[in-house]
Amino acid sequence: MNKEEFISEVEKLGIKLSEEQLNQFQIYCDFLLEKNKVVNLTAIKDEESVYLKHFYDCITIFKSGVIKPNSKVLDIGSGAGFPGIVIKIIEPSINLTVLDSSMKRINFIAELTNKLNIKRIDFVDKRSEDYFPLVHDEFDIVTARAVANLNTISELAIPFVKLNGYFLAMKGKYKKELEEAKEAISILGGKIEEIIEFKLPKEASDRAILKIKKIAKTPSNYPRRYDKIIKYPLKKNIK
């Protein structure tokens, strides 16, 4: 996806990019590809793929309709800043926390946001279950893109969401994962409100945004330690 195609496809989402935003995306792309030569941040190596498979793909999260000005957003497993930093470029007023267990990736995001002159971001180099005791039930929106299967990431994400807030899980093929995660989502206080399916332009690969609303407080014994989450997927008979 070249830049002209990127602008056109983003406009179809109802978003008109300013010159400043376009400049920020170009700085982001250049810095990502440069740093990726020495730190493993992405398997994508060329500019057109960055614009399609990272920037455009992340902007589709606005299809959810729940990202509002001044929202408090947590991006779990942010990696190279996806989708958190992209959301911040599109809606600069959000209060963003990026969470990743790798200090190298957190350092990259911190350097990037300095280059982009982006403010109101917290950088956290912890695992989700270690960060949870500090900020549980605090965020309007929690996002995760290609972090883990839905059963696992739901337990790591939903406890952070405040009542009536949303967990937005960005997926490719999702139906088998969703079937396996339905019980966990319910136990954690979530409810699938909407599934937004679409195809990525040009390559027509499947994408979905699972819009999960927090309708009840998460029981205090979740999230469990990561090894338990993996070994014992959450079901009604698992504590």
* DSSP secondary structure, the chain, as one string: --HHHHHHHHHHTT-PPPHHHHHHHHHHHHHHHHHTTTS---S--SHHHIIIIIIIHHHGGGGGS---TT-EEEEET-TTTTTHHHHHHHSTTSEEEEE-S-HHHHHHHHHHHHHHT--SEEEE-S-HHHHHHHHTT-EEEEEEESSS-HHHHHHHHGGGEEEEEEEEEEESS-HHHHHHHHHHHHHTTEEEEEEEEEE-TTT--EEEEEEEEE-SPPPTT-S--HHHHHHS---TT--
Superfamily of domain 66-231: Vaccinia Virus protein VP39 (3.40.50.150)
Question: Model-level pTM?
Answer: 0.94
Whether 198 has a pLDDT exceeding 60, the answer reads yes
How many angstroms from the chain centroid is the CA of residue 80? 11
Residue 143: per-residue pLDDT: 98
* Calpha distance 76→179 (Å, rounded): 22
pLDDT band at 214 (very low <50, low <70, confident <90, very high): very high
Distances, alpha carbon 88 to alpha carbons 73, 138, 139, 147, 198, in Å: 9, 18, 15, 19, 23
Q: What is the mean pLDDT of the chain?
A: 94
pLDDT at 239: 46
Does the pLDDT of residue 238 top 80, yes or no?
A: no
* Per-residue pLDDT tens digits for 142-187: 999 978 899 999 999 999 999 999 999 999 989 999 999 999 999 9
pLDDT at 237: 55
Query: Beta strand pairing status for 139-145 and 121-124?
Result: unpaired
pLDDT of residue 235: 78
